[in-house]
Chains A and B, each alone.
Chain A
């Protein structure tokens, strides 16, 4: 093999290596999912108070199982008080799982409007307090609701599993509280700031 051919072979080898490296990096970049964030924003226009919390879900996933304090142990929260009030979350979610979509509960009185429904694979709760002017909207993707009761007894909710399930949920607002005083919003997306 002469020198020219050797050089050509060398150049071809380097080119092939570069293309391979580039394609591997591109493939990795395409397969790597963006970090998902849980955002909490509490604002009070009257007092100009603002609290913003942006937590990467990967961080929450690691931290929650490490918390063993109060009602939260091993990634699960004890909900003993709910049972004492004869509200069995497990039983309710089990029934809702197989129920068709639509309104389950609608309560309208002079004080409050309450609506619980299953819409687009999400559990939706809306509470409107006419006296305080406060509206509460809670939207729980069905997979997250299922994760909450997975691998638990009747007195527990699996927060760790719910956070893991949130990783696969589209951008959505989970909780919104609006009223005359503080406004609260809890949502997930892939932005590391809540400016979106």
Chain B
């Protein structure tokens, strides 16, 4: 009985840790008949942890200097964005395409809806910051 209780607590703690940074949600819906429909929820903590196991060479950007120059901007933007109220940040619309970038809760949600596909990607801001740090480290000059 005690063992089961410990196991239960362990599962709860693991669940809490895994979901602590929120979930990355990717939804893809091809509009053609029999088109692919993907609906993927990945705990953001798992994604950022997985980055630790990616070889550094695979995280190297084509222009690492440009990436490093953008880092202070990202460092400033993400915490400020996190504290900002929810709402539409950018919307671009024409006769065929519709792109929407919103801040919802602690996540950035990007919706792209064109004549062929409907794609929605939701990324928790904290996870994005953590991932960008790891990629930047992999691209440091040393």
Chain A residues at the B interface, C-beta cutoff of 8 Å? 35, 47-56, 58-59, 61-63, 65-69, 192-193
Contacts and interface: CB of A to CB of B under 8 A. Distances in A.
Contacts of B81: 59
Contact of B89 (A47, A54, A66, A67): A54
Contacts of B87: 54, 192-193
Given A58-B84, A193-B88, A50 B77 contact: no
Contacts of A50: 91-94
B89 A55 contact: yes
Contacts of A56: 80, 84-85
A192 B80 CA distance: 15
Contacts of B32: none
Interface stretch (B13-21, B67-75, B114-122): B67-75
- What is the size category of the interface that chain B forms with chain A? 20 to 34
- Interface secondary structure of B, over-half rule: mixed
Nearest to A47: B94
Contacts of B89: 53-55
B5 interface: no
A90 B114 CA distance: 47
Interface in B39-72: 69, 72
B94 A48 contact: yes
B6 interface: no
A66 B77 contact: yes
Contact of A59 (B72, B75, B80, B95): B80
Contacts of A58: 80, 83-84
A129 B138 CA distance: 53
Contact of A52 (B75, B86, B91): B91
Nearest to A37: B87
Nearest to B87: A192
A53 B77 contact: no
B1 interface: no
Given A58-B80, A63-B73, A68-B69, A48 B95 contact: yes
A59 B77 contact: yes
A48 to B, nearest CB: 5
Nearest to B98: A50
A59 B74 CA distance: 11
A141 to B, nearest CB: 23
Contacts of B73: 63, 66-67
Nearest to A192: B87
B76 interface: yes
Contact of A62 (B69, B77, B94, B95): B77
